[in-house]
Amino acid sequence: MKFADVEATMQKAVEATVRSFNTIRTGRANASLLDKIMVEYYGTPTPVKQMANISTPDASTLQVQPYDRSTLSQIEKAISLSDIGLTPQQRRRFDPTQYSPLTAERRKEFVKQASRYTEDGKVALRNIRRDGIDTVKKQEKDKEISEDESRDLQDKIQKLTDKYVAKMDEVFAKKEKDITTV
């Protein structure tokens, strides 16, 4: 594992955490909220985004238009049963979902969820650091690199980890602000 590979993997861990954040509801409609919702479709769990066109006509409405009209009730049920707190409303051909204002208690729950995602991301970063350092130690043991190079690489990997942990905290702070802003 090269140093550039370690950095690229850490960047991907931060991006994965940001994608997880997108599934947490804030005060505005966001189509990525439905990314993790699965619908039973012909016996197979299928993501809603593969079964319907999802749009946000305004800040408080999430509109779901199924490609197959017969799946409308299944999609509605999956959204209702999810923990994102949306209530689907069928209107003629479309399935708009109105955003109700978040309560202070619900906002706290979403902040805790974001905190868990952040901690998972930090664990991923620490695992990447461990793997990188183990690789460097193995290279030193196999006499591929000197002891000084090994120590330098380990220090660089630690500094890189610190940088990405700080970036993770920064992303969390931004998401927390989005959630708590009324």
pLDDT computed for residue 28 by the predictor = 67
Delimiting residues of CATH 3.30.1360.40 domain(s) in the chain: 31-98
Return the higher-pLDDT residue of 59 and 150: 150
Question: Which region among 21-25, 58-62, 111-115 has the lowest average model confidence (pLDDT)?
Answer: 58-62
Distances (CA, A) of 18 to 11, 79, 148: 11, 22, 36
Query: Does the structure show a pLDDT above 60 at 164?
Result: yes
pTM over cut 0.85: no
Is 117:20 a contact under the CB 8 Å cutoff?
Answer: yes
Q: Does domain 3-21+103-180 have CATH number 1.10.132.20?
A: yes
Q: Which CATH class is domain 31-98?
A: alpha beta
Cβ density class 14-52: b for 16+ within 10 Å, e for less? beebbebbebbbbbebbbebbebbebebeeeebebeebb
**Neighbouring-strand partners of residue 93:** none
3-state secondary structure of 89: coil
Delimiting residues of CATH 1.10.132.20 domain(s) in the chain: 3-21+103-180
